[in-house]
Amino acid sequence: MIRWKAAAATLAVSALALTACSGGSTGGGTGGGDTSLTLGAITAPTTLDPAGAEWGNRAPYYQAVFDTLLYADTEGEIQPWLATDWAYNDDNTVLTLTLRDDVTFTDDSALTADVVVENLQRFKDGTSPDASYFADVASFEASDDTTVVITLNAPNPAFLDYLTRDPGLVASSEAIASGDLTTAPVGSGPYILDTAATVTGTSYVYTANPDYWNPDVQYYDALTINVFQDPTAALNAIKANEADAVRLSTNDNLAEVEAAGWTVAANELDFQGLLLLDRAGTVSEPLADVRVRQAINYAIDRDAMLEALQKGHGTVTTQVFPASSAAYDESLDEYYTYDVEKAQELMDEAGYSDGFTISMPSSALLGASTYSLIDQQLAEIGITVEYTDPGNNFIADLLAPKFPASFMALEQNPDWQLIQFMISPTAIFNPYHYEDETADAIIERIQFGDEAQQAEAAAELNRYIVEQAWFAPFYRVEGSMASAPGTTVEMNPTNAYPSIFDITPAE
């Protein structure tokens, strides 16, 4: 749900429901009587400096070393972490954070409000692809050693969520000054990077922080994160029992993973489908007609696409908001059924009985068979797709914008984040800056309303954009994390990789 304020954070951080006791375990694959954990990731970090950080599948590298100001639990609820309390002013434009006063970094320097302000400003000014999360920030200020005041130019309903992710990472001020954070990160987190044992891009080795302020959630004495960009390499590591938990890049090998005695935890964070971007008909005039966009939705056999492309591992849907969102409406998962006859009727009503041609980008990374299936289904209602492969410029050309529509896999962000990501006139994945008076009015109610008003308006916005066919989603994809016997994984509803605090020894 959309949250502005939290009740007073009276619960001790160590009491968070992070499952499992703090005794540790030998780990499923590493064994040997120690309390080590070996994880598999599908991509390496491009930098270990929080100012250039990313979240998603790169989250564990940062979470191992750095604490965030707030924490998102397995229900997606915001909990205290480095900040023990937070409150907004009456118009939700000034956020005051109260910090812990007992935290030190692994270089023995202290956490203070000045250090937090320095980190927040660095992220805003930095190279992270998420730096725009702070676009509405007017100022960061330290009013005393344990109080940070953040002033916004306008209300931002997702701001607390941001502080649980890469924008909320806090590094040592002394390490920032040294200029070595890219390869030698220094934080207050549960682990310390062993730079001598680490092979950049391949394997990242960590030892436990002996002075960690929250030892109750520090389950292991050692942590290793190995990079498996090749699904076959990941499967081989699982079969050889060379890891404890591995993020799977595809669901192609789930049967073999489970046959090896491993457990698979999954969430549905991403959706795949068509982005119908040119809704004003700037480049492709037919897309300006809602009936054409609706026809495209009716022309897609989502069940067949899910089976063909994901082996059934996911849920068909016609909405872009996730199930964890206040906007989510289960009935909208089946708003558009597969109905070629209905699709053709809409095309006829819109004056496109003979169809039309539309250009879309393609990428080998998204699978050649995907484009063939889209081509075949749209051809049933007379739409001819002309594909262009922009290579490494796929995203850049899509956002330029050079294409009126595209197949895409996108993260289903929580409420306000998704609005700012895909729907608002300034959203990055609204490259034609399409504006709709009805949608804009609903968005304004979300931004300036109270919690109940936000939830009601978010649901209204979701239904409106589904009815208006702004997108043609196919399905939500299962993202899978495999764990060996002896290791328990709980997935996070808002991130591709589980929190390292939710990867624990089995009881």
Contact 411, 154 (CB under 8 A): no
Residue-level pLDDT at 368: 81
What value does the CA radius of gyration of the chain take, rounded to a whole number of Å? 23
Residue-level pLDDT at 24: 35
Measuring CA to CA, how many Å separate 332 from each of 268, 317, 353?
A: 16, 7, 28
Contact 212, 221 (CB under 8 A): no
pLDDT < 70 stretches in the chain: 1-34
d(CA 36, CA 221) in angstroms, rounded, equals 6
Residue-level pLDDT at 29: 40
Residue-level pLDDT at 411: 85
Chain-centroid distance, C-alpha 447 = 21
Q: Which has the closest alpha carbon to 194: 68, 63, 65?
A: 65
What's 243-255 look like in SS3? CCEEECCCCCCHH
What are the structure tokens assigned to 36, written together? 């080590």
All structural domains of the chain = 13-262+484-505 (3.40.190.10), 270-478 (3.10.105.10)
Burial class (CB in 10 A: 0-12, 13-18, 19+), 250: middle
Contact 329, 465 (CB under 8 A): no
Please report the DSSP string for 28-64 in residue order. Answer: TTT-TTS-EEEEEESS--S-S-GGG---GGGHHHHHH
Please state whether beta strands 67-68 and 169-170 pair in parallel, antiparallel, or not at all (unpaired). Answer: antiparallel
What are the structure tokens assigned to 279, written together? 């809704």
Burial class (CB in 10 A: 0-12, 13-18, 19+), 65: buried
Contact 286, 356 (CB under 8 A): yes
Handedness of CA 131, 134, 136, 138 (dihedral sign): negative
Contact 207, 221 (CB under 8 A): yes
d(CA 211, CA 215) in angstroms, rounded, equals 8
Query: 273's torsion region: left (phi>0), alpha (psi -120 to 50) or beta?
Result: left
pTM here is 0.85
Contact 366, 327 (CB under 8 A): no
Residue-level pLDDT at 182: 96
Contact 462, 332 (CB under 8 A): yes
Query: 236's torsion region: left (phi>0), alpha (psi -120 to 50) or beta?
Result: alpha
* Residue type at 471 in one-letter notation: F
Cβ neighbours of residue 338 under 8 Å, at least 6 residues apart? 298, 299, 300, 301, 302, 303, 304
Q: Tell me phi and psi for residue 133, to 5 degrees.
A: -60, -25
Residue-level pLDDT at 16: 32
Residue-level pLDDT at 490: 97
3-state secondary structure of 368: helix
Contact 463, 230 (CB under 8 A): no
Q: Which has the closest alpha carbon to 471: 274, 270, 269?
A: 274
Place of tokens 């080998």: 364
Q: Which has the closest alpha carbon to 282: 197, 359, 392, 344?
A: 359
DSSP state of 43: S
d(CA 299, CA 352) in angstroms, rounded, equals 14
Which residues is 151 bridged to in the sheet? 94, 139
d(CA 170, CA 82) in angstroms, rounded, equals 9
> What is the length of the chain?
507
Neighbours of 130 (CB within 10 A): 17
Contact 458, 415 (CB under 8 A): yes
**Count of alpha carbons within 13 Å of 473, Cβ hemisphere only?**
28
d(CA 48, CA 421) in angstroms, rounded, equals 25
